[in-house]
């Protein structure tokens, strides 16, 4: 089935009791035992499993072409579960521009438990140099945040495979509508479902999807159900509801991103636009090979430096100045100030999550903001 059909039907079933077309929300934390002490429905206690979470995990797994998914209460909880499932002392390789929340998590919570290096994983030589006998995992994130760098997934997988190293891909920016890392050989996909899956900036969630069942996956399941960083039945319901429109929303976001980046690229106040969909992007060819759409996140820098960047951001009327991404409303942020003092992000850079407003209105707003002095 195609992704639009999967998004609507996978995991959902007509309720056998009420015949409701949409699966009801089951708030119960506990489930009745039968006379023999067993559980007829398979559900015992909602930390371990809940019907709405099962529905969500079913659709997530199918969207990413995986065999199973585990849903979490946030993207960071999903990432943490991967790290917690590794043997202490394992060495992991991460991109030097890894999502700052997970980079900070590793440094603050896994120091002394795991070994980690933050490197340019796109440089084959650098990557090979950093692989050690205890390297167990390579983490990739493509397109990356906020410079929209592209990692060649197949290439990293081929290097990792030879040495029995797992590859996890943070696919939050691309979504399975634009990129399916498991079909390119990755072992696990990670998502912050807070972003495009939720799509309306009103819930937090995370997910891991596995290409195959394994001992490592069993450990991740244990971290999920014993650790307990699970989404509520309400959050699972809202997510499955939003996922039904994910393919069409993402197509709309991508179209708007293409049109807006083309506008910005030819504007005299703009220094550079970072978007994998532009032929000027240094890894545009890799993006074309491994993505079926270029996503809807982009950044741009201003010739007038930080002062101009702040002027633009404060002059916009439709765009809201806020962090996060993937919602129907357009957001813009001065990324360097979000990332804190050790940031490598240029101070004249603005990061945009383009929404689903009409592109003519968005371009008109951007045009007036760029003209502000």
Ligand X SMILES: *Cc1c(COP(=O)(O)O)cnc(C)c1O
* Of residues 66 and 198, the one with the C-beta less far from ligand X: 198
Q: Which of 43, 149, 152, 170 is catalytic?
A: 170
Q: How many CB atoms lie within 10 A of CB 91?
A: 18
By rule CB under 6 A, what count of residues binds ligand X? Answer: 16
* Of residues 12 and 232, the one with the C-beta less far from ligand X: 232
Q: Which of 43, 53, 97, 99 is catalytic?
A: 99
User: String of b and e for 263-272 (b: at least 16 CB within 10 Å)?
Assistant: bbeebebbeb
83 binds ligand X (CB under 6 A): no
Is-catalytic flag, 47?
Answer: yes
Whether the upstream peptide bond of residue 146 has omega within 30° of 0, thus cis, is yes
> Could you give the dihedral angle defined by the CA atoms of residues 152, 155, 161 and 162, in that order, rounded to the nearest 10 degrees?
-150
Any idea what the Cα angle at residue 362 is, between residues 356 and 367, rounded to 5°?
A: 165
Least Å from the CB of residue 144 to ligand X: 8
198 binds ligand X (CB under 6 A): no
Q: Whole-angstrom Cα distance, residue 176 to residue 247?
A: 9
Q: Which part of the chain contacts ligand X (CB under 6 A), choosing from 63-71, 161-169, 187-195, 260-268?
A: 187-195
Least Å from the CB of residue 43 to ligand X: 26
Q: Whole-angstrom Cα distance, residue 266 to residue 273?
A: 10
Is-catalytic flag, 195?
Answer: yes
Q: Which part of the chain contacts ligand X (CB under 6 A), choosing from 98-106, 253-261, 307-315, 339-347?
A: 98-106
Contact 196, 250 (CB under 8 A): yes
The owner of tokens 């590794």 is 86
Q: Whole-angstrom Cα distance, residue 263 to residue 273?
A: 10
Interacting residue with ligand X among 23, 52, 58, 74 (CB under 6 A): 74
Cα 203 off chain centre by: 14
Q: Which of 195, 249, 308, 351 is catalytic?
A: 195
Q: Which of 47, 241, 244, 251 is catalytic?
A: 47
Is-catalytic flag, 170?
Answer: yes
Interacting residue with ligand X among 50, 58, 76, 330 (CB under 6 A): 76
Interacting residue with ligand X among 90, 192, 201, 348 (CB under 6 A): 192
Query: What phi and psi values does residue 189 have, to the nearest 5 degrees?
Result: -115, 140
Closest CA to 112 of 88, 137, 136: 88
62 binds ligand X (CB under 6 A): no
Least Å from the CB of residue 99 to ligand X: 4
Contact 206, 176 (CB under 8 A): no
145 binds ligand X (CB under 6 A): yes
170 binds ligand X (CB under 6 A): yes
Helix axes 100-109, 75-85, angle to 10 degrees: 40
Residues lying near ligand X in the complex (CB under 6 A) are found at 74-76, 99, 101-102, 141, 145, 170, 172-173, 192, 194-195, 204, 206
Question: Which residues form the catalytic set?
Answer: 47, 99, 170, 195
């Amino acid at each position: 089935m195609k992704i639009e059909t999967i998004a609507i039907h996978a995991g959902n079933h007509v309720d056998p009791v009420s015949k409701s077309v949409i699966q009801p929300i089951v708030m119960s934390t506990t489930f009745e035992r039968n006379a023999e002490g067993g559980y007829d429905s398979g559900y015992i206690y909602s930390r371990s499993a809940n019907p709405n979470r099962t529905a969500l995990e079913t659709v997530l797994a199918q969207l990413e072409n995986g065999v199973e998914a585990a849903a979490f209460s946030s993207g960071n909880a999903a990432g943490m579960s991967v790290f917690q499932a590794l043997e202490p002392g394992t060495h992991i390789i991460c991109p030097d521009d890894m999502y700052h929340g997970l980079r900070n998590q590793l440094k603050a919570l896994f120091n002394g438990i795991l070994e980690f290096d933050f490197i340019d994983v796109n440089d084959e030589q650098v990557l090979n140099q950093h692989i050690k006998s205890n390297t167990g995992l390579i983490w990739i994130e493509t397109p990356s945040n906020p410079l929209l760098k592209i990692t060649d997934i197949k290439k990293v997988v081929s290097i990792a495979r030879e040495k029995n190293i797992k590859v996890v891909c943070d696919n939050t920016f691309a979504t399975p509508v634009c990129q399916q890392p498991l079909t390119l050989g990755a072992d696990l996909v990670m998502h912050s479902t807070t972003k495009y899956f939720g799509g309306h900036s009103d819930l937090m969630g995370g997910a891991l999807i596995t290409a195959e069942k394994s001992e490592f996956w069993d450990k991740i399941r244990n971290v999920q159900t014993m650790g307990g960083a699970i989404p509520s039945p309400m959050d699972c319901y809202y997510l499955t509801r939003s996922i039904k429109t994910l393919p069409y929303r993402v197509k709309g976001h991508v179209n708007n991103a293409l049109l807006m980046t083309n506008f910005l690229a030819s504007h005299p106040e703009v220094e550079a636009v970072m978007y994998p969909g532009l032929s000027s992007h240094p890894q545009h060819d890799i993006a074309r090979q491994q993505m079926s759409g270029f996503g809807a996140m982009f950044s741009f820098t201003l010739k007038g430096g930080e002062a101009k960047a702040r002027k633009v951001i404060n002059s916009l009327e439709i765009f809201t100045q806020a962090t996060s991404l993937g919602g129907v409303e357009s957001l813009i942020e001065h990324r360097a100030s979000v990332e804190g003092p050790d940031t490598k992000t240029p101070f004249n850079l603005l990061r945009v999550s383009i929404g689903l407003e009409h592109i003519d209105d968005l371009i008109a707003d951007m045009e007036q903001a760029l003209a502000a002095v």
